[in-house]
Amino acid sequence: MSLGIDIGTTSIKICYIDKINNVGFSCSKVHNSTIKNLPSCYHEQDPHKILETIIDLIKNLPIVFNKIESLRISGQMHGIILWNSLTNRKMEKCSNLITWMDERCDDTFFKYIKTKTGDSLSISKGYGLVTLLWLVENNLNYLEEYNRCGTIMDFVCCYLKNNFDDVFITDQNAVSWGFFNEASNNFDFDTLCKLFPKNFFSNSIVLPNIVTAEKTIGHTIDTSSIIGLLNGIKVKASIGDLQGSLSVVNINSPTLFIIIGTSAQISFILPDKLEIIEKLKEINFLARNKFIPNYSAWTGALMNGGNALTKITNLICNLYSDIMSIDDTQKEEMKERIVWEKLLSISPNITQVKKYGLLFEKLFLDERSNSIIEEKYLNKRLFVCGLREDTSINDIFSSIAYKIVENMHNIISTTTLFSIGISKMVLVGKADTPLFKNLIIEFYRNQTILDLKETFPGSVSIDSALGSAMFDEIISSKRL
């Protein structure tokens, strides 16, 4: 019996499965942890609210807790949280989670990094160690009370084990922090020493121990009264939300995953065959991620996904509030009343979107690869053509969804996918809503949609929580 927990940017998801992968129960809840009133380029979340949401969900699970043998957490891969090793479950000495959406590391900062290391590094804004370096260069005093760091999943594992001193991160997630040495399967300390103060990682912030995904990193301790979980449940090494989402199908049957949550991803697992690796390495904005031995998870990640829809609704609400002189409290109440189910049920008229509708040339956030966006729009934020007085919310949402799917297809085309033996796809999150589904079918015409809801009827959604609960089956090679 296994419990999977996914810590997303917006919500917490939990899934419980039995020994034959029947879903006993699954649920989700928005954690509302994003910190407000920060500089516009900052994106931080309150770990207390994240923990409170996890605890609330677990306490209310309608299952027999003595049947749970292990748990595994998946979640946001790039973000970083800092704490003191002497902290306890009151969490008095921990920082906010600085998420993957944080943009404080600007072009000037990356130029500074390149002057010391050269141009060969694969790093981006929002990557954990890049963010940590920014803090060292710009706000060193902020770090003085902390001596440990990890992903938010690693921190929650420490909470469950009641041990904030020994920190473990999987190689999957360590890669997503940047400054990783593939040959040694460890952080690239040679490069880090060129950037950070001398002895920083021994005297100031100790980096997590890197382990592979199959490891058990401890057991639950004194959790019964706090969370409801019994003592002695195995705590498995946490995995990325990407790897979790991909763990719900047979890896010997190559399958495309289109995942739209806060961001958007197009991903698939393939065996590590030289001809496949060489072909896919030619696609500059497709990244090779660690999965399990002899298999890699290939991913094209977009910064703009569901967050673009949230930002446009916030923009509309803000404009309406200004026109009608609504105060901040009323404005927030209005945003909370947005009927997302209705908005995601919009079914775009593809012909109208392509020929007569709005045209979003550039969405809100810069993409990590400039090749996805035309050069003339790179230095702009939101760039829209065709806005009219009678433009409807249907037009706006349809056009944004079209741009997101088009950007995905610009990463890797349906023709390329078919040439490497991929002809099936799974739609995850918002990708499986009417707003996106028909657009995806239009762009990926030679892909057949797999409906995993019939395979897992007890699951609220096919997501990383389900995959993290099932991940041990991948490791044990039952599907290989």
Residues 6+ apart with CB under 8 A from 355: none
Q: What is the tens place of the pLDDT at every residue in 161-219?
A: 999 999 999 998 999 998 999 889 899 999 999 999 999 999 999 999 999 888 999 99
pLDDT confidence tier of residue 480, bands split at 50, 70 and 90: very low
Q: Is 375 exposed, middle or buried (0-12, 13-18, 19+ CB in 10 A)?
A: exposed
Looking at the domain 250-451, which fold is it? Nucleotidyltransferase; domain 5 (3.30.420)
The reply to whether 2-241 and 250-451 are identical in fold is: yes
Mean predicted lDDT score pLDDT of the chain:
85
Can you give the residue ranges of every domain in the chain?
2-241, 250-451
pLDDT confidence tier of residue 221, bands split at 50, 70 and 90: very high
Phi, psi for 429 (deg, rounded to 5): 70, -135
What's the whole-number mean pLDDT along residues 47-51? Answer: 96
CA 201 to chain centre: 26
Phi, psi for 399 (deg, rounded to 5): -70, -40
DSSP letter at 37 equals S
- The type of residue at 307 is N
**Helical (H) or strand (E) element with 302:** strand 295-302
State residue 360's pLDDT score.
72
DSSP letter at 264 equals E
What's the whole-number mean pLDDT along residues 451-480? Answer: 69
Phi, psi for 179 (deg, rounded to 5): 55, 50
Question: Taken in order 118, 169, 214, 75, is the CA torsion positive or negative?
Answer: negative
CATH for 2-241 (3.40.470.10, 3.90.79.10, 3.30.420.40, 3.40.640.10) = 3.30.420.40
Report the candidate in 293, 161, 295, 282 with the shortest Cα–Cα distance to residue 221.
Answer: 161
Can you tell me the distance from the alpha carbon of 452 to that of 18, in angstroms, rounded to the nearest whole number? 17
Lookup: tokens for 208: 């997590």
Residues 6+ apart with CB under 8 A from 139: none
- The type of residue at 284 is N
Decide: 312 and 264 in contact? Cβ < 8 Å.
no
β pairing state of 295-302 and 148-150: unpaired
